[in-house]
Structure 1
Amino acid sequence: MALDIQINKPAPIPLKSEIAVYNQETELAETIKLLEAEKPVLITAYYSNGLVLLKALKTHLKKKFPNKSFQEQRAYRAEYHTLSNRVLAEIQDHKLIVKKAPEIGWFKKLYPELSNFLFPFPQIQGLNSSWQWYENGISIPVLRNKIHPYYGTYFPTRFDHLELFDKWLKRYEGAKKNAIDIGFGSGILSLQLVQHGFQKVFGTDINPNAIVGLTEFMGNTKLSRKIELEYTSLFGNFKKQTELIVFNPPWLPETQDSDGIDAAIYYNEELFPDFFEAAKKHLLPEGKVILLFSNLAHITNETKAHPIETELLKEGRFKLDRCYKKRVQTASEKTKRDQHWRDSEEVELWVLSHK
């Protein structure tokens, strides 16, 4: 496919003539006050100085946000996001100029036309992690080969729902001519479908980075002939009916303070009604709709409503064949968030057919 699309990437910041600096001799408390006063701060000397400042900022904010409830965790992350992105570092010739900084290939790949600019330090951390994942690849238990997620593309860090889908695919006895993967992200579900014998998979996503990343990953291999991608929402220009529609939607409802920090896991109120309306038209008479979901919103008191249950009870378009559930593995002991609610979290695989 032609890739005449603009990818999402952090906006570089022009060099500033006057800006406060932070190094190992600077007072941390005074620097944090500058950040709270909406003043940018430039990291100088060593890369580690940026890490020290961000650690101090987290300690400062934890006194303000106890971080006990899911809502407090979200408020803490939002405030940290705002303040930490005022911490800047300088890029010159696609490299960080501070000492002992990591090599990050994204600077050259994403900003080939720029040579000297500033960049928020948390974004630098994100680019660094992303580059390591992209370069080294990530092993996914349900796939034979590693994936190499492109910058700004969602990929899972837990695999319970993927394992649930893989078990279902092993039992699936229907036709395997084609399938549609809505919001394919890093392409894992599409790759699972091909791995289990589907001849053709049509994938859509509203994230241009997902399109660019999976297209680059497939290259000119056989996968590029089995998986066809479109930069669009829901079903896009795909007009044919299909035997299988797969959708792994966001798991939490959008709120007033939702923003780009967790965009991959929040859904607006139109998403599910629009999906089910379109799915009804695109599904063959004997076809199946597969939705991968979670009880996360319910156990964190975000909402009592379940969008799939609402569809089945009120709209009359689909019937439930079966709902498979799997208890989510306990959060890592290394996590610093209070995640007591993880003990009751389950992932869900819903199998629907025409009513």
Structure 2
Amino acid sequence: MSADLRVNKPTPFFSEQPLIAFSRASNVALTIKALEVGKPVLIAAFYSDGLDLLKALHQHLKKRFPNGTFKEQRAYRLAYQKLSKLIYINIVDHKLIVKKAPAIGWLAKLYPEQTSFLLPFTKVQGLNSAWQWYKNGIDLPVLRSKIHPYYGVYFPTRFDHLILFDNWLKRYNGPKKSAIDVGIGSGVLALQLVKFGFQKVFGTDTNPNAIVGLTESMEDTKLSRKIELDFAPLFGKWEKQTELIVFNPPWLPAAHDLDHIDEAISYPETLFSEFFKAAKKRLLPEGKLVLIFSNLAQLTQVTDTHPIADELAVGGRFKLEQCLKRPVKAASSQTKRDQNWRATEDVELWILVHA
């Protein structure tokens, strides 16, 4: 299946005109002005020159944008993204053509037939980080072995919601013939289900990288017989009813058009109504619908509505069996963002049954 999928990857850039070259000898202010009028810039000498230019861009934007509230932080990040994507770096034979650059295995894996092209420097940073995570693996407190997330697949960097789900699974005494994991991502929830004895887990995702990555990592292992994948929205090809449906949706409403990694973080307006309508048909009469969520959107004043509470109030399809909550661990002292709201953030585990 994965062989037919086209993975999401940074789009190569081919310039017909020479780009403005940036090195440590360049005038930073003039370079940023060029970016602001839409002129692309090429990191020409050292990899660290790209890091220096991005740092200068951050400092420049901090003077223009307030960065206090959650909404202001969002606006600042959008402005940064717009300008930083015009900063490029050259790739030849799957290597970065600057001094002291990291070796990134994704360049050969994702671009096997392309030998010379440009990529935005921030995308190269993302490829480098993703390669380290993929190569070295990531330990999660709820799994016995590491996960190796594929490029462009969201994976958890905080674990309170996973621990909440794990604790619920320990007490779950219903049938374990099958379950559906909607939006399987890096596969953590599905792996938790297998760990607790579910015989078959069906997983869907609209991100082809999630399907390709999990197919690759499960190849020739017992997991490939326990977890079946479909590249599709919501429930995909699975019409058969199941005893457990698990959904860890994005926790924030979308503020702009989504790219594929944003789809794991922000939800479109129609997502929950479509999900609950489809879930009603797929859940066995005595089955359970489990949603993992947070009060993050309300705390940060992005919205005052809660999509699960709204469904229970007016949907008529499901009723609440239980809602478990767990306070979120304090933000790292290293973080530069104002995250005081995390002191009152709870992750939530909603267990619903047929109304």
Say if 2:241 is the partner of 1:241.
Answer: yes
Q: C-alpha deviations, 1:93-146, integer Å up to 9, x for none? A: 100010000000111000011111111000000000000000000001100000
Which structure 2 residues correspond to residues 166-205 of structure 1 after superposition, within 5 A? 166-205=166-205
Partners of 1:15 and 1:116 within 8 A in 2: no
- Distance verdict in 2 for CA 1:176–1:208, change over 3 Å: same
User: 2:138 corresponds to which residue?
Assistant: 138
Which structure 2 residues correspond to residues 19-98 of structure 1 after superposition, within 5 A? 19-98=19-98
Partners of 2:152 and 2:261 within 8 A in 1: no
The Cα RMSD (Å) is 1.1
The offset of 1:341, in angstroms, is: 1.1
User: 1:339 corresponds to which residue?
Assistant: 339
User: 1:122 corresponds to which residue?
Assistant: 122
Amino acid at match of 1:78: L
Amino acid at match of 2:72: E
The offset of 1:258, in angstroms, is: 5.7
Amino acid at match of 2:114: L
Amino acid at match of 1:14: F
**SS of the residue 1:140 aligns to:** coil
- Higher alpha-carbon deviation: 137-146 or 12-21: 12-21
Amino acid at match of 1:245: I
Tell me how far apart the structure 2 counterparts of residues 277 and 249 of structure 1 sit (CA, whole Å).
Answer: 15
**SS of the residue 1:3 aligns to:** helix
Amino acid at match of 2:342: R
Tell me how far apart the structure 1 counterparts of residues 133 and 126 of structure 2 sit (CA, whole Å).
Answer: 11
Tell me how far apart the structure 2 counterparts of residues 238 and 232 of structure 1 sit (CA, whole Å).
Answer: 10
Partners of 2:153 and 2:261 within 8 A in 1: no
Q: C-alpha deviations, 1:21-70, integer Å up to 9, x for none? A: 10010011110000001000000111000000000000111111121000
Tell me how far apart the structure 1 counterparts of residues 259 and 235 of structure 2 sit (CA, whole Å).
Answer: 25
- 5+ residue gaps, structure 2, are none
Say if 2:291 is the partner of 1:291.
Answer: yes
Amino acid at match of 2:332: S
Say if 2:255 is the partner of 1:255.
Answer: yes
- Distance verdict in 2 for CA 1:333–1:70, change over 3 Å: same
- Distance verdict in 2 for CA 1:335–1:21, change over 3 Å: same
Number of aligned residue pairs: give it.
355
**SS of the residue 2:319 aligns to:** strand
Q: C-alpha deviations, 1:288-327, integer Å up to 9, x for none? A: 0000000011001111111101111101111100000011
What TM-score do you get using the length of structure 1 for normalisation? 0.98
**SS of the residue 1:184 aligns to:** coil
Tell me how far apart the structure 1 counterparts of residues 173 and 243 of structure 2 sit (CA, whole Å).
Answer: 11
Amino acid at match of 1:34: A
- 5+ residue gaps, structure 1, are none
User: 1:220 corresponds to which residue?
Assistant: 220
Amino acid at match of 1:222: K
Partners of 2:243 and 2:284 within 8 A in 1: yes
Tell me how far apart the structure 2 counterparts of residues 164 and 140 of structure 1 sit (CA, whole Å).
Answer: 13
Partners of 2:2 and 2:212 within 8 A in 1: no
- Distance verdict in 2 for CA 1:330–1:291, change over 3 Å: same
User: 1:155 corresponds to which residue?
Assistant: 155
Say if 2:279 is the partner of 1:279.
Answer: yes
What TM-score do you get using the length of structure 2 for normalisation? 0.98
